[in-house]
Amino acid sequence: MAQLDSESINEVWRDIQQDFSAERKVIPILKEDLKAAIVALDTFLSNNASTINSAIPQPARSGLTTTQKAKLLSYVIYKRYIKEV
């Protein structure tokens, strides 16, 4: 998948700031630094999509759609780093 366009980057940027503000946690960086991080992560995912896909064993790798595999990745990230135990 091609990298996100600027409108999509801005949507992520808006959404993440609203999410952070709802949590009332300190953001020690500027808005533009946050956007740079979003762009960098999007670039990383674009450059490493096939590597991530290869990490998924068969039959899931070919049996699941791209969207299903992306959700799988997001659930694992959420459980590892976001959901408080």
Partner 1 sequence: MAANDTLLEFSPRLAEIPLGGTFGASPYLRNDHPILVYDGTSAEYAYFTGVMPQHYAGGDVNVYLHIAYTDAVSGTGIFGASFQRIGDGIKSLDSTTDGGYVYAYIGANATSGYISIKPVSLLSFEIDDVAVGELFRLKVYRYADSGDDTAAGDAELNYIEMREV
Query: CB-based burial of residue 66 (10 Å sphere; 0-12 exposed, 13-18 middle, 19+ buried)?
Result: exposed
Packed helices 6-23 and 31-55: angle between N→C axes, nearest 10 degrees: 110
| 53 part of the interface to partner 1, by CB under 8 A | no
Specify the stretch interacting with partner 1 by CB under 8 A; choose among 22-30, 40-48, 54-62, 69-77: 22-30
Specify the stretch interacting with partner 1 by CB under 8 A; choose among 25-33, 43-51, 65-73, 76-84: 25-33
> What is the closest distance, in whole angstroms, from the C-beta atom of residue 16 to partner 1 in the complex?
9
